A and B are shown apart, each in its own frame.
Chain A
Amino acid sequence: MRGSLRKESGSRNRFVYNAAGLGPKKKVVRIVAILGVMMTNKIKRGIALLLPALYSGLAQSAYQLNLPQPETPIARQIFDLHTLILLVCVIIFCGVFGTMFYSIYKHRKSVGHEARQFHENTTVEIIWTIIPFFILIGMAYPATKTILAMKDASNPDMTIKVTGYQWKWGYDYLQDGVSFYSTIATPQDQIYGKAPKGEHYLLEVDKPLVVPVGKRVRVLITANDVIHSWWVPAFGVKQDAIPGFIRDSWFKVETAGTYRGQCAELCGKDHGFMPIVVEAKEQKDYEMWLAEQKQKQAATQVDASKTFTLDELKAQGEKVFNTNCAVCHQANGKGIPGAFPALDGSKIATGPMADHLNIVMNGKAGTAMVAFSKQLSDVELASVITYERNSWGNKAGDAIQLSEVKALRK
């Protein structure tokens, strides 16, 4: 069965949206038509259609009925476990409700059935207490095996630290010294319906996590602010990211491809907008990617003594702002009244530079404003602060230099 599951898998890409081209009206018509079919043929065809679909693993795009195609040994165990238990439940369901509907059909007053006044039978009671108990033991055995396998994160080939932030993910390749942030790449215009939605709407990031196939990858998961949860359905990995604590999990991807998931623990306003994308590459490709990252990282180590002009900083700052700050303070700097303060005309963005620098670097306790000193580089900090002080209605006219930011880090 496992083999057939694997072979029947469709395209590598599990998130094709085949209705993307349809307008809302057409979609309503389609849904209504489908509902009609579902209603009229429910009993006749429902079972015939549903069951094979459940087991074929042909899970793709719209109307996906089952767990996603498993891509790791653990995910496959989970998939099989779910299939087994669902099957047992369906059998019991049919037995119990077959009996009930027989009784509803045969023992009605309207067909002249008279009530038999029995109301106790200890043997029967014992039987239907004991039998479920043994069925449960039968379920618990394979489940226990899977739990023990999931929990065994020993002997990893590599370790990556995953950190949840409001609202993005940070990845640190602990052995290789590569680290970066992964932020949603779907433009706001698509979310607010001003532009057509892309193929990977809400499930695309600027920099995906890249891992080699066939290696045991251990992930150390933590969070910076509130609880998040790192979840890639195809890997069977979901682990809460808890601030101040490190939890671990592991996976071994079998085939190269792109796998998508989402944060699974409510973490505030943009909980729905912090996707996870993992690219599994062949070992060679992975090494090439790694080398490239190291090079890039070295290139961004700018000379601290370099002086930028105000315009240079502003231009770069706008990009940094849009990736990191605009979710709360909004691209127009107006914030969201009552929830997130405006920067346009704010005391901090128009007041002394030192206060501004302090709040961006160290955050503000008890609010959603986190410390950005570790998330952003010196260049990014300098440029985003310069941008905030010289955009919208703010006309401070001063530019902060790298050396000043660097000095504060000590």
Chain B
Amino acid sequence: MDAAHATHAHDDHAYHPSGIMRWVMTTNHKDIGTLYLVFSCVMFFLGGTMAMTIRAELFQPGLQFVRPEFFNQLTSLHGLIMIFGAIMPAFVGFANWQVPLMIGAPDMAFARMNNWSFWLLPPAALLLIISFFVPGGAAAAGWTLYAPLSVQLGPGMDLTIFAIHLLGASSIMGSINIITTILNMRAPGMSLMKMPLFVWMWLITAYLLIAIMPVLAGAVTMLLTDRHFGTHFFNAAGGGDPVLFQHVFWFFGHPEVYVMILPGFGIISQIIPTFSRKPLFGYTSMVYAGTSIAILSFIVWAHHMFTVGMPAAGQLFFMYSTMLIAVPTGVKVFNWLATMWRGSLTFETPMLFAVGFIFVFTMGGFTGLILAITPVDIQLQDTYYVVAHFHYVMVAGSLFSIFAGIYYWLPKWTGKMYDETLGKWHFWLSMIFFNLTFFVQHFLGLAGMPRRIPDYAPQFAEFNMISSIGAFGFGLSQLLFVYIVVKCIRSGEKAGAKPWEGAEGLEWTLPSPPPYHSFETPPLIK
């Protein structure tokens, strides 16, 4: 290949390498979106395997399979991998695929940075996996990494800290990219208040990420210097304060919860109108509700710390502000309901997951409200009630919205239809086993079973066994999901540009699958 030809080929936008290099070098938003989603799926099964091991150990009282110190490593890494490896990358994958399609752009704003922010993830995941094999094993202080316990641990903790730095850098770059794309590359005529709600929710999420990831990086860096360089941020003997870590961590941690749910709200807000064959009810108030949730999320962090012993004024402030979040969250649920009301409903798999999402997520919302009441929280803090609560929000919330979104847009992405019957099976199995796993954990928490324990008193045996059976069922059901996706790509029926009767939006104006550069000429929005 002569030089002139090479230059020409490079200038030619249709040029892209094939084979593995296509994926390593790609700057295309769809390829990167796919990479994110595949990575997320791998991490989901890795974290899921850990969860299965945890539930196997908790199947009966006594220690059968793992030792306590390994159990702690499993719970910690299950949390870290599911949050940073599975849920967040999945949503970034959605943003990569959908934001340009939905705003009428050819690609993301910073194509090369997009590549870089994805390829930071596999090394970070590798660090987390390697940490199991270093002396002392992986981080065993919980995903919250509370000092001083995390100061005590072995080199596995350092690997975790580096992994978090990489993941944070990746998230920040991804967010800058998403914000820039949304603000600069919308099709002519698409004002902010005409954007699809998914795009709106991601815009808010991206701002949240930019605000909080540096805070987490700061917290773990302080941990690192406490561990190795003689600082005493979290050591009372040196003038520090162990509780400081919790304040910094949760200042990141609470908005992080909304990072993991707002894009889900966005996906649900696309799907409910489609299958109700009606426009979204209260678009404006949905945008305002999302924004209020994001702003409020910065002033509620200490509700994770009601038992550290803060003054009454502190407890009252954080209780009131936390309760306040119920208002915009309620508005969202009511709006989805009003969208369904007097619509013309059909229940394809995406709609099933979306309605399932509203049902179970709201249950997580109610337990959240109960936990917001400080005196009740003091009883339930660090029990299985909290475990049940956040799995209702993270699994039935975030994960179900991810499934809903994948079934919704899979025909667009692949140009092929998935197997509807199997999709429905996937939904019902997930729904039943999810509730079997986590509903009983509310009772365990109320009865007094602490979380993060490898063994428990026999009075908790029955519900734990039920929960474990549910967890195994839930885990196995997810294999069906992989089968459905693979089957769709390999041998699905051909899907048209708009496979859903009631769907609205720019992505459905393109053929399925969409062309390499989504919109070569920007569409005009009336």
Contacts and interface: CB of A to CB of B under 8 A. Distances in A.
Interface of A: 15-17, 19-20, 24, 27-28, 30-31, 34-35, 59, 61-68, 74-75, 77-78, 81-82, 85-86, 89, 92-93, 96-97, 99-100, 103-104, 107-110, 113-121, 124-125, 128-129, 132-133, 136, 139-140, 143-144, 146-148, 150-151, 190-193, 197, 200-203, 221, 225-227, 229, 231, 233, 236, 238-240, 242-245, 247-249, 261-273, 336, 338-339, 366-368
Nearest to A62: B462
Interface residues of B, number: 104
Contacts of B466: 31, 34-35
A104 B355 contact: yes
B457 A202 contact: yes
A203 to B, nearest CB: 5
* Residue among B64, B154, B448 with the highest chain A CB neighbour number at 10 A: B448
B146 interface: yes
Given A93-B362, A115-B276, A117-B278, A81 B373 contact: yes
B363 to A, nearest CB: 8
Given A31-B465, A116-B278, A191 B458 contact: no
Contacts of B215: none
Nearest to B319: A143
Contacts of B64: 193
B62 A233 contact: no
A92 to B, nearest CB: 8
A72 to B, nearest CB: 12
B343 A115 contact: yes
A126 B469 CA distance: 44
A17 B61 CA distance: 12
A229 B366 CA distance: 26
12 contacts: A15-B459, A17-B457, A19-B461, A31-B465, A108-B344, A119-B278, A125-B285, A125-B331, A147-B312, A201-B61, A242-B309, A338-B136
Majority SS of interface residues in chain B? helix
A273 B455 contact: yes
Contact of A107 (B60, B330, B344): B344
Interface string B279-291: 1111111000000
A157 B37 CA distance: 61
Contacts of A272: 68, 450, 452-456
B482 interface: no
B452 A266 contact: yes
Contacts of B331: 125, 128-129
B135 to A, nearest CB: 4
A63 B136 contact: no
Interface stretch (B107-115, B161-169, B184-192, B376-384): B376-384
B463 A63 contact: yes
Given A78-B379, A243-B242, A262-B450, A115 B307 contact: no
Interface stretch (B22-30, B320-328, B413-421, B506-514): B320-328
Contacts of B154: 338-339
